[in-house]
């Protein structure tokens, strides 16, 4: 994914699957605590639906919308960890496995933290939330 974009600017953008089907709207972006690189986005898949986590690395930002290279059904079946707190290393591994992504370097001591959400677009340190 484009790395020069401020992750807070992803909030509220529409997301689409590999076939161009609308998935929903990005609610939150999760950053790697060690590098600050955006790793995951939580996409609200409907008015009464839960958020689905999608990996940002293989996704593309095209004309202001996020295009995720996976089918809608796979995205909707992603593990549900809730939003608004850190993803543990174990949860992150579950997501990588769910999407069939290779992890070249295990990251057991690098939890991922929420940077922004629809309720608060300020960067916040969530290390005390874990």
Tokens matching residue 72: 């809608």
Q: How far is CA 125 from CA 13, 24, 57, 76, in A?
A: 23, 26, 22, 28
> Are the CB atoms for 81 and 106 separated by under 8 Å?
no
Domain 7-116 superfamily per CATH: Photosynthetic Reaction Center, subunit H, domain 2 (3.90.50.10)
> Are the CB atoms for 53 and 78 separated by under 8 Å?
yes
CA 125 to chain centre: 17
pLDDT in tens, the chain (130 residues): 555 567 778 999 999 999 999 999 999 999 887 788 889 999 998 766 788 999 998 899 888 999 999 999 999 999 988 888 888 888 989 999 999 998 764 443 333 344 333 333 333 333 334 3
Tokens matching residue 67: 């295009």
């Amino acid at each position: 994914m484009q790395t020069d974009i401020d992750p807070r600017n992803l909030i509220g953008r529409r997301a689409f699957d590999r076939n161009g089907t609308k998935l929903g709207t990005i609610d939150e972006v999760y950053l790697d605590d060690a590098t600050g690189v955006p790793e995951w986005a939580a996409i609200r898949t409907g008015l009464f639906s839960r958020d689905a986590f999608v990996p940002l690395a293989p996704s593309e930002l095209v004309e202001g919308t996020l295009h995720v290279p996976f089918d809608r059904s796979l995205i909707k079946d992603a593990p549900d960890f809730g939003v608004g707190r850190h993803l543990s290393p174990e949860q992150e591994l579950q997501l990588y496995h769910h999407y069939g992504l290779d992890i070249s370097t295990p990251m057991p001591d690098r939890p991922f933290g929420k940077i922004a959400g629809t309720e608060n677009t300020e960067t916040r340190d969530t290390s005390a939330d874990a």
